[in-house]
A and B are shown apart, each in its own frame.
Chain A
């Protein structure tokens, strides 16, 4: 055994030899993954585009060619436009909350303090828990009769004040105690935004922390020597250095929020009166419940331009960060 191992191995020949060359080995190792992705993502994506251009109905995989009719008829529906508007509102509003929260929280979470482990555990919970299940917990918090939010507000004698504020700013005209978080159109939008911000925040915090960690200590020292402090340091050192990674968090947040089905489906089912639908839930209502497969596909494809924009931004920043 010893002697055998000591012998120099014969030079590999034929296909074995080919596997030693990077030019052959690299594609050979990558190909299985790429082929699989092409089959389970590429084919359905292509099919979705095809379906959106046909009048296919539930139960069939083909239909007659109708051009862009599904896209235009979806567009003419008020419910669709509201779903599109809601998708944008949820995405934008929740990302504003997420970025603000993540910037503040990450700045303090990088410090060392007692009990950091448990704080980190609590902060991470919303990200680790399955979305559907944590949204059911929110459903209970926003319950029409037993809402803990309303109970607490009432005990603190803040319920009338909140109702007055909502009425005055015009968010919920004619609001009454107890507040119907999910039963009134505008309040439902508020509730969904809160849940989205809540569930994306931990992920953004984690990415922000990574961004902070990637800033070398020398930069901090140099800033100190140059006398950059407070707002000046924030504007000229902290923000520019963290912007690329923060942007990654935002891009993810946009995709996760805009493409989400579970939160709206569990909280409101798109209601009341179709007021809180988003593109995915509206596509489900039309494509699966309504059986209009073609139009459903067209509705979900309206998300595509947004995703392409996000992807382009992502590629752009990935490259820039690499170069610098």
Chain B
């Protein structure tokens, strides 16, 4: 690229990046603010100020980690993180168990109708939870699963399986046929070829599915919000707005900390696996 092109690229990409990342930057600033600094509308919201609203270069002396500590010691935040990880891990396990064979069969064994069936399964992913949460909340109550993490473990695969099957289909299509044919010629059964040859080769793709399915579980709100009502059993998405917003009282610094803490690791993982995600997503059918 010429110098002019490079300059122009930054000119476009820069503002987009700033706007898209702004809420997180702002949350990062807010989480260390003192109550007095936060509650004065004249003070700059971007900086840490003294009581008169002046900025000093040793700004860390005018900030506090108290509210972040509060989040970990005085709320159920640590419990919610554990719950979220437990649910997401169990759901990812169930998802792989069901989606791996299905994705492989649709990509490799089913022939013509596999493609159509794959698209059909994927369309299920487009059915929003908001359409299903009313009957599901009643069914969960009748199954005596209300207020239990099991309700989420049971229901979340409804969107992770279609999504994962689709991605895996895309990945399996990119594996050369010769690989499994060689295994079959050597006397491997189809199933053991699948487990011993195909799965190991597809490990990067499977890992991509694990990460994105995991984050779908962390993201989910309406099921977590309607199925579970006791604070100790909630996941982060449902727990934070419920316990840290009490009527008119907002624990802003803790809320912002709770926003930033899960977002950063998830975004790092997304960034690392993005190219593989694109490959699987578009490899499924739109090729």
**Residues in chain A within 8 A of chain B (CB atoms):** 8-9, 12, 16, 19-20, 22, 25-30, 32-34, 36-37, 40-41, 43-45, 47-48, 51, 60-61, 101, 104-105, 108-109, 111-113, 117, 119-134, 136-138, 140-141, 145-146, 148, 151, 198, 201-202, 206-207, 209-211, 213-214, 244-245, 248, 251-252, 255-256, 258-262, 265-266, 279-280, 283-284, 287-288, 293, 296-297, 300-301, 303-304, 307, 310-311, 314-315, 317-318, 321-322
Contact = CB atoms under 8 A, between A and B. Distances in A.
Interface residues of B, number: 103
Nearest to A10: B187
Contact of B287 (A43, A126, A252, A322): A322
Interface string B3-15: 0011001101110
Contact of A245 (B38, B255, B282): B282
A128 B263 contact: yes
B208 interface: no
B199 to A, nearest CB: 13
B204 interface: no
The 4 closest A-B pairs by CB, nearest first: A259-B128, A129-B263, A280-B130, A29-B101
A61 B237 contact: no
25 contacts: A19-B189, A22-B109, A26-B105, A26-B106, A29-B101, A29-B102, A45-B127, A45-B132, A48-B132, A109-B13, A111-B9, A129-B24, A130-B266, A131-B237, A132-B240, A133-B259, A136-B241, A141-B23, A145-B41, A198-B23, A210-B282, A214-B282, A262-B222, A284-B226, A307-B127
A301 B135 CA distance: 12
Contact of B226 (A127, A136, A209, A288): A288
Given A33-B99, A101-B16, A123-B16, A136 B259 contact: yes
Given A29-B101, A124-B271, A287-B134, A322 B9 contact: no
B49 interface: no
B121 A34 contact: yes
B121 A33 contact: yes
B158 interface: yes
B287 A321 contact: yes
B119 interface: yes
Contacts of A206: 274, 277-278
B16 A310 contact: no
Contacts, number: 299
A132 B237 contact: yes
B162 interface: yes
A280 to B, nearest CB: 4
Contacts of A25: 105, 109, 190-191
B270 A124 contact: yes
B130 A303 contact: yes
Given A29-B109, A120-B271, A36 B187 contact: no
Contact of B20 (A125, A141, A145, A252): A125
Contacts of A296: 134
A303 B157 CA distance: 22
B255 A261 contact: no
B34 interface: no
A32 B94 CA distance: 11
Contacts of A48: 131-132, 134-135
B20 A122 contact: yes
Interface string B248-287: 0010100110110011001111110010011001100111
Contacts of A12: 189
Given A25-B109, A127-B270, A206-B277, A140 B252 contact: yes
A136 B134 contact: no
B202 to A, nearest CB: 15
Contacts of B167: none
B174 interface: no
Contacts of A43: 139
A280 B259 contact: no
Contacts of A318: 119, 285-286
B17 A119 contact: yes
Contacts of A322: 115, 285, 287
B134 A112 contact: no
A120 B275 CA distance: 12
B165 interface: yes
Contacts of A60: 138
A285 B252 CA distance: 26
Contact of B45 (A130, A148, A279): A148
Interface in B207-234: 215, 218-219, 221-222, 226
Given A137-B24, A287-B134, 17 more contacts: A8-B187, A22-B109, A30-B110, A37-B121, A44-B135, A48-B131, A121-B271, A124-B267, A130-B219, A132-B241, A214-B287, A256-B128, A261-B129, A261-B221, A262-B222, A279-B130, A307-B128
